[in-house]
A and B are shown apart, each in its own frame.
Chain A
Amino acid sequence: MNISPKEKTLNMMFIMPALVLFLVFNLYPLIRTFQLSFYQWNGIDKDMVFVGFAQYKHILFSNPAFWKSMLNAGYVTLLSLTLQNGLALLLAILVNRQIRGGNIYRVIFFLPPVLSGIVVGLIWKFVYDGNFGILNHFLISLGFDNFKDFAWLSEVKTSLSSVAVVHMWKGFGYGFIILLAGLQTIPIELYEAAEVDGADKWQQFKNITVPCMIPVFTLVTILTILGTMQIFDLIYSMTRGGPAGHTHVPITKIYEYMSNGEFGYSTAMAIIFGFVLLVVSFFQLYVSKKFNR
């Protein structure tokens, strides 16, 4: 088919609305982020002061609160990767055993992931409440009297872990659904053949399930890392970074600097954080590719 230049131009009309929106609201902000990160600017003044990499340097070497927020998000991520995804895998394997009511469990487990972060955060804040939270009431009724008036979210020792528990409660169903879909793509003949060859369940798991599932594990791992490191709604609705910064995470930090009018500084932080996320996902892809061969 030969298409006239006129038609080629006319055809562009189909993508124009998307293209214009993309250029203005996706690409321009991205470029602007890089540009702003080299300037000190409060968003109001006409003058933007060019400071080069000074803000990057300050964030990396003189801002312990930023590193604390990275560590906090890292801690929640580590818990999610192990406990949450471990639970998700166990549940996926159990449901995949073709038991009765499997579909009902699937519907229930995916309920928390469809709820909003704000709703989940506020429900759990209520559950965790020191004075009239159901959690303490439950613990006291079991005989743990020392939990009377224990404020889970405002104690330095428990605040971050308490938030992490809620994050995992909200998130495990997501991994569960993907892992279950992955398990269901493994051909049943593989297991039947292994059965004939006398392999026990553990050997089947180790030699069939795990190798077949490596791409899915990789995917779930990346999604967990990217999702958890960028946690915001739950933190904002439960602790707002408190007590004394013990539950601050990178996005709440970036938001905080922006709210204080430090636009240049907050974008520099966003770029450093974005770079870390990029490295993590590339590293994960690299490792899994190597593992796959």
Chain B
Amino acid sequence: MSQADLSIHGQVSRTGATEIMTAPTFSVPAKKMAMWLFIIADSATFAGCLVAYGFIRNATPDWPRPFHSITNVALMTFILLSSSLTMLIGVQSAQKGDKAGAFRWTMITAVLGILFAILHIREWMGMFAEGANLFHNPWGTPLFGASFFSVTGLHLTHVLGGVVALIAVAIRYQGGRYNADDLEITGLYWHFVDLVWMFVVPLVYLLNLAH
């Protein structure tokens, strides 16, 4: 193989062996592709939970509608959607080379995530105080508590995991160990968490609103 062919099809490694160079799948770097595969798998997990919840809700004639106010869930939705915007601004700052701006906006995103989690836990505490938990529901079928806390708990776990990841990546980005691509990949995960919430709100909260 000539040198010209090698520049197209392969390269000579330090050991002298020719390594086949392949273009990244869909022109996406391997790290980003791994995150997309995780997102696809995780969306299947959430879809499974939401379909199971829908099945239980549909098959239970006396399903309770315990939510009287949408204020808290509306505020949580606003915070999570806004955190997606701050994440985008953070990634754009990193791509422009504005390290301080990228760090600041990513940390703002993490703070919004913490705020979301606090509101979520406060809501849970209110429900615990009324006697609802994973195994008991004062308004009727215990399946309500099991499905509500499972779905929202899985989402909350993702939010908390995302907050930890955002803080860790932002600190390492500022320290020079990570680059703008790493921040963008973490942003992908954060937008996914936001995307899942768009389905959790109508199915778990709004369809169970007391009229």
Q: Do A and B come together as binding partners?
A: no
